[in-house]
Structure 1
Amino acid sequence: MGDDAGAVRTAVLSLQRATGLPMVFGGALNGRDRLRITELVGGTTGSLDGLVVRRNSGLGGKAMALGRPVWVSDYPRASTISHDYDAPVADEGLLSIVAVPIVVRRHVRGVLYGALREPLSLADRVVAMAVQAARDLEQDLAVRDEADQALARVQGAPQGPGAGSASARWEEVRAVHAELRGLADQITDPGVRARLLEASSRLATAGLDGGPAPDGDAPPARPALSPRELDVLAYVAIGCTNAQAARQLGLLPGTVKSYLRSAMRKLNSHTRMEAVNEARRAGLLP
């Protein structure tokens, strides 16, 4: 779905817009215990661009080691951090800095920084917004990891004679398709969300590539289902009840029922499975 650096870039831009801080920067881990700063907004000298920060060194290194946010109001005089990176920080004239680690499943994946060029205490609101930006990024990375694992299950499934029944393989494809659509709705990064939906669309049309779909003949014209109608059908297609689909999608069962009825009407179907089969013939579901 993309590397961590791209996700950090989106978070840096979002944090700068939200806080208006003179400088916001960050980077993803580059090895087990170091990160490289690659994403910067508001820099004037380039002294921090590409800087490698090691665990326990400087402010960011301390945040990596502790796994929690740390901040100082006068960086060169701070007694709570090491001063390995005083020169590049001084070149930028940064004094008040907050560093927030990005932690996914207990592993630090990067650090976000926000900074002022004045020796002032960062407002609680600013620190809270930096923490929230990191939390949003953590959620995106966790969901993206799940999506990568789901795709790997399809790509790594055995193929050819003796690899298992075609029916079993298609059930796995359908389960992954539904999972990807559910995960996409949790992603805040529009680029990553679009790639997840594109991947799910490729799975949906897999049965149409080079021949008819597995459950029908040549596909008819595609009905204009809404994204949520398609999400619901994807879970119905793998045997979920309305209540189970609602839990997966974070909806009320009644809302799921409404989407399902609408999809059935658009697909000119009278039952749940008839709607699923029509959607498969149209290349909307695998």
Structure 2
Amino acid sequence: MDSRTPSLLRPRDGDALRAELRHTAALTAVPVLFGGEVHDGSLHLTEFLGTRTNGLKGLVVPPASGLGGRVVHLRRPSAVPDYGSDRTITHHYDGPVLGEGLRSVVAVPVMVAGTSRAVLYAAVRESTAIGDRTAEALIQAGRRLAAEITVRDEVDRRLRMLGVQDAASPAVDGAVAEGIRDAHADLRGIAQSVPEGPLRNRLRAVAEKLAALAGERDREAPDAVTLSPRELDVLAHIALGCTNNEVAHRLSLRPETVKSYLRGAMGKLDAHSRHEAVVTARRLGLLP
């Protein structure tokens, strides 16, 4: 069984898969790209570019069946120059594949922690081997998608570990609050390590949710103070008791840069010490 459970905080992995297919299409001249996620060991085909029929849509491929099931099972890329006559795969799906006119196909598994989590395909309608450039672009797309899914899994793991289910949960005790603060700082660090875009924004949104869960915001406090993402990153680690050098190491910044962000945060918070800055940020609901 698949132990992963849906999360309202987690973006749809299929959207990230589709984005990688589009990126690959922009880099190559391959006419057909498609793929899907692996659930409970079976591949579910859901995303398509360049197809002419609906034969492949919604297809569920068990392990070791066809080309996709083969790469899920073997956990490595595989290709067939002529799908209909190839002897290395089963032919349970000749109908939809050949009905689409596909001949040469390459499939790449998206590997996360040693498990196939999705499969990306590139295909042409001639029985000629797909070029190395296309195959390499698909492999790189698989690696990027694997990295993104890894980050999403880590976010989900931390939320499960903390037992955070609802923003309306009762106030947490001191030990759990400290754990949430640690996770909050880690999430902000992870967010900074991924490219600018929807995933980084989602990670920061999760961090803000944690801050709201653990914080005891003074409802009479003004709402005018806005810290930059980097100022919050630094202050979140300062709140854990980190020195400037430790913050610099965790966030891959220079110590002088950390000092600059800290000064900026202190100025906006009208704080005269790092401790006062943390206390004020918590009172304003900016930190857990």
Fold shared per TM-score above 0.5: yes
Q: Which residues of 2 match residues 2-151 of structure 1 at below 5 A?
A: 2-32=11-41, 34-151=42-159
**Structure 2: distance between partners of 1:229 and 1:255:** 10
C-alpha contact 1:69 1:98 (8 A) present in aligned 2: yes
Give the deviation of 1:141 after TM superposition: 0.9
Identical aligned residues as a percent = 44
Instruction: Please give the per-residue CA displacement for 1:146-185, whole angstroms capped at 9, x wherever unaligned.
Output: 111111233359x98xx9x832222122112112222223
Structure 1 counterpart of 2:209, one-letter code: R
C-alpha contact 1:37 1:48 (8 A) present in aligned 2: yes
Structure 2 counterpart of 1:171, one-letter code: E
Residue 4 of structure 2 corresponds to: none
Which stretch has the larger CA shift, 132-141 or 253-262? 253-262
**Structure 1: distance between partners of 2:128 and 2:248:** 48
Give the deviation of 1:239 after TM superposition: 1.8
Instruction: Give 5+ residue unaligned stretches, structure 1.
Output: none
**Structure 1: distance between partners of 2:54 and 2:145:** 25
1:201 aligns with 2:201: no
Name the TM-score, length of structure 1 as normaliser: 0.85
Residue 5 of structure 2 corresponds to: none
Q: Which residues of 2 match residues 218-237 of structure 1 at below 5 A?
A: 218-237=220-239
Structure 2 counterpart of 1:193, one-letter code: R
**What SS class does the counterpart of residue 185 from structure 1 fall into?**
helix
**Structure 2: distance between partners of 1:217 and 1:104:** 43
* Residues 18 and 226 (structure 1), Cα distance of their counterparts in 2 relative to 1, 3 Å cut: farther
**Structure 1: distance between partners of 2:64 and 2:193:** 33
C-alpha contact 2:80 2:105 (8 A) present in aligned 1: yes
* Residues 86 and 155 (structure 1), Cα distance of their counterparts in 2 relative to 1, 3 Å cut: same
Pick the aligned partner of 1:168 from 175, 183, 204. Answer: 175
**What SS class does the counterpart of residue 246 from structure 2 fall into?**
helix
**Structure 1: distance between partners of 2:211 and 2:30:** 44
Pick the aligned partner of 1:242 from 241, 244, 252. Answer: 244
Residue 271 of structure 1 corresponds to: 273
**Structure 2: distance between partners of 1:244 and 1:49:** 50
Residue 185 of structure 2 corresponds to: 178
* Residues 36 and 217 (structure 1), Cα distance of their counterparts in 2 relative to 1, 3 Å cut: closer
Instruction: Please give the per-residue CA displacement for 1:31-89, whole angstroms capped at 9, x wherever unaligned.
Output: 22x21101111111011111122222222122112211112233223333332222211
Residue 6 of structure 2 corresponds to: none
**Structure 2: distance between partners of 1:127 and 1:247:** 37
* Residues 143 and 12 (structure 1), Cα distance of their counterparts in 2 relative to 1, 3 Å cut: same
* Residues 2 and 52 (structure 1), Cα distance of their counterparts in 2 relative to 1, 3 Å cut: same
Which stretch has the larger CA shift, 47-56 or 117-126? 117-126
